[in-house]
Amino acid sequence: MTFGSSSSVLVTGATGSFGKALIATLLERFPDIRRIVVYSRDELKQWELQQQYPAAEYPQLRFFLGDVRDQDRLRRALEQVDTVVHAAALKQVPAAEYNPMEFVKTNVLGAENLIQACLDTGVQRVVALSTDKAAAPINLYGATKLCSDKLFVAANNIKGARDLRFSVVRYGNVMGSRGSVIPFFLNKAQVGVLPITDPAMTRFNISLQDGVEMVLWALDHALGGELLVPKIPSYRITDVAEAIGPGCEKPIIGIRPGEKIHEEMITSSDSFSTIDLNQYYAILPSDGSVQRQYRAAGLKVKSVEPGFAYNSGTNADFLTVEQLRDLIREHVDSTFQPV
């Protein structure tokens, strides 16, 4: 994706881990970009980001305090914006179980507010971030994100003659993101105890930068209506614990409410509308509309086998303990040493 002197990008949830990585990439790769709108509700995080990117050096940055729950504010922030990346969400699983309507208001109603605001302005490309927990969800967070995914995909049905495409990217746990297991274990290793929820637990793994590259790819290539899934490795929670704290105690504490032993990104029920794009899978609308667009564009559509599922426990690609240590040094803490 190329952003030039006429391009304006708005990022919701822009002060989160992903948003900051995306902004850094855009500024480095496209220094002539006209405008990047940082849209989030936390004034302290925006202030901290402004210290990192002073206005005198980065005049293309705009800082909009606002909540995705506020459609009027979204509409104002989207004036003269052509590209939107939607990363705003409430995402802590236990918090969702205790505060369900707060997650519905942000993750579901916020998604609909953004869709309506994009339809009312000159936006052309929208990519929304999903989560592996949205596939066959068993917790409220996953259910709200599945609903959000469906809203963005269905928004293509009401765009009319607008040059506007809505797509979704879904990936697994981001290495080093706030609240994820690796920073948690790095912290707990200092006291010599790494609590293991279940020794059989596995998760998908992706770096922040790979997540950014996937979003940029989707902005450039998606036709609208796809839910894109990357081909990424898995890890065993016990291997993460061994990579970080081989000398630590590792008590088994049981899974938290709403957690799965293994994560899915594509269920067997999705297989009948899933295609293989080499680097990514794409779950397409079941009505065949996007498949026809691919064929009309002269693109080969390679379907996966019926019954195919993409599960972190049955994934063919698992990270070893040494690979995990190397990735922690590369993406989380360059000075990391096992304890």
Task: Cite the active site residues.
Answer: 133
Which two structure tokens, joined as six digits, stand for 117?
């605001």
Alpha carbons 39 and 64: distance in angstroms, whole number: 5
DSSP letters along 216-267, please?
HHHHHH--SS-EEEE---EEEHHHHHHHH-TTSB--B--PPTT--SS-EEE-
Q: Identify the helix (H) or strand (E) that includes residue 166.
A: strand 165-169
Residues counted in the chain: 339
Q: What is the C-alpha R_g of the chain?
A: 20
Burial class, 326, CB count within 10 angstroms (exposed 0-12 / middle 13-18 / buried 19+)? middle
Q: What phi, psi does 202 have (nearest 5°)?
A: -130, 160
How does DSSP classify residue 107? Answer: I
Q: Identify the helix (H) or strand (E) that includes residue 290.
A: helix 289-296
Alpha carbons 252 and 195: distance in angstroms, whole number: 6
Q: Which residues contact 154 (CB under 8 A, 6 or more apart)?
A: none
Cα dihedral across residues 278, 282, 284, 286: positive or negative: positive
Contact 141, 90 (CB under 8 A): yes
